[in-house]
Amino acid sequence: MTESPFPRDPEAPTPPAAPTTPAAPTTPETAPPRPVYTPGSAQPRLNRPVHERYPQIRPTSGYGDPRITRTGPGPGAGTEQEPERSAKLTARLTLALTVVIGQLWGLTIVVDEWMTGDTGTAWWGAGFLVLSFLVVLGLWAVDPKDR
């Protein structure tokens, strides 16, 4: 059971022999070089869990860390500031999309009637298309401050 769960990389430099004197704190100058990490590495020692690779990151690093002074954009961010305006715009958009779908359906009928030679019905259909366009134009003109 003395074997490490992460075998030593044969290409890695050999670590210096452990001194027999009491261990001195490791500084960045005396620490061994960090390996180059690529996701999904063939070297298992590089695929360790985050808490093993970075022991300085603790579960309380977010809210307990004194270096963090601001946690985000602030209260109310991302919420609707004017729900009435949003509801009105959604209703107008729904009506406009309904009219556009009706125009596409009407255009299909008009073209079919025109191709069969029934031009009277085709002209009535063309009138329907113009009227539905005027309805959309009226919805657009209802409240100019929303644009």
The predicted-structure confidence for 66-86, as pLDDT tens digits, reads as follows: 666 666 676 666 666 777 888
Contacts 24+ apart (CB under 8 A), 47-51: 48/6
pLDDT higher than threshold 80 for residue 88? yes
CA nearest to 111, candidates 95, 97, 128, 99:
128
Helices (H), the chain: 50-53, 83-116, 119-142
pLDDT of residue 140: 78
128 touches 106 (CB < 8 A): yes
pLDDT higher than threshold 70 for residue 2? no
CA nearest to 129, candidates 108, 113, 106, 111:
106
Q: DSSP characters for 5-47?
A: SSPPPTTSPPPPPPPSSPPPPP-TTTSPPPPPP-TT-SSGGGG
pLDDT higher than threshold 60 for residue 1? no
pLDDT of residue 146: 64
Beta-carbon contacts of 16 under 8 Å, excluding residues fewer than 6 positions away, are none
